[in-house]
């Protein structure tokens, strides 16, 4: 399991965004047309985790674990640990893929 996330990089200031920035650079205001498409491997290091016990929708079923990951290419994102993954802790390496628009992460052993 591994995937590539689509994003944009600002040539003026270097800011990387994913999903692709649709309006203008959040750091320097560069016009959207100047932003360069980039592909970011969905892999990085766990910044924090939280096991969710109460959720306002039936899906995903509780408990599930939200993982904040800092991608190797910069941006910090939040995704959900796949069922069956080994537990993860801060500092662990994870990789992920998109399923129905959601970043599903698993521990890299």
Partner 1 sequence: MGRNPLADRPVHVVGIGLHRYQPASPTPFVELGLTAVRGALADSGLRWPDVEAAFVGSALLGMAPGRVMLSRLGATGLAIQQVENASASGSTAVALAALEVASGRSDVVLAVGVDKAEGWRIAPNSAGLGNYEAGTVVPFTHFALLAEDYRQRYGTTAEQVARVAVKNHANGARNPYAQRQKVRSLPEVLADPISGSMTRLQCCPVGEGAAAVILASDEALARFGIDPRRAPRILSSVTRSEAAYPPGTPIDATLTAHTTKLAFDDAGVAPTDLDVIEVHDAFSIEELLYLEAMGFCGPGEAGPLIEQGAFDIGGRCAVSPSGGLLAMGHPLGPTGVGQVAEVTRQLRGEAGDRQQPNARLGLTHMVGIGAVCVVHVLAAST
Binding site for Zn ion (CB under 5 A): 10, 12-13, 15, 25, 27-28, 30
DSSP reduced 3-state for 38: strand
Q: Binding mask 11-30 vs partner 1 (x if CB under 8 A, - otherwise)?
A: ----x---x--xx--xxx--
Cβ–Cβ under 8 Å, residues 63 and 50: no
CA distance 101 to 104: 9
Q: Which of 4, 31, 32, 48 binds partner 1 (CB under 8 A)?
A: 48
Total of chain residues touching partner 1, rule CB under 8 A: 37
What count of other Cβ atoms lies within 10 Å of the Cβ of residue 6? 12
Q: Binding mask 67-86 vs partner 1 (x if CB under 8 A, - otherwise)?
A: -x-x---xxxxxxx------
When CB distances are held under 5 to 8 angstroms depending on the partner's kind, the choice from Zn ion, partner 1, none that residue 30 binds is Zn ion
If the CB atoms of residues 37 and 56 are measured against partner 1, the closer one turns out to be 56
16-17 β-sheet, strand order: 16-17, 4-9, 36-41
When CB distances are held under 5 to 8 angstroms depending on the partner's kind, the choice from Zn ion, partner 1, none that residue 53 binds is partner 1
Phi, psi of 59 (to 5 degrees): -130, 135
């Amino acid at each position: 399991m591994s995937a590539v996330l689509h994003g944009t990089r600002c040539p003026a200031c270097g800011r990387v965004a994913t999903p692709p920035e649709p309006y203008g650079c959040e750091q320097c205001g560069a016009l959207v047309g100047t932003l360069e498409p980039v592909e970011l491997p969905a892999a990085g290091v766990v910044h924090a985790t939280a096991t969710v016990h109460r959720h306002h929708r039936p899906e995903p079923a509780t408990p599930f674990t939200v993982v904040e990951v800092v991608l190797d290419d910069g941006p910090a994102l939040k995704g959900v640990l796949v069922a069956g993954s080994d537990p993860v802790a801060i500092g662990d390496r994870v990789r992920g893929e998109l399923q129905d628009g959601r970043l599903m992460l698993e521990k890299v052993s």
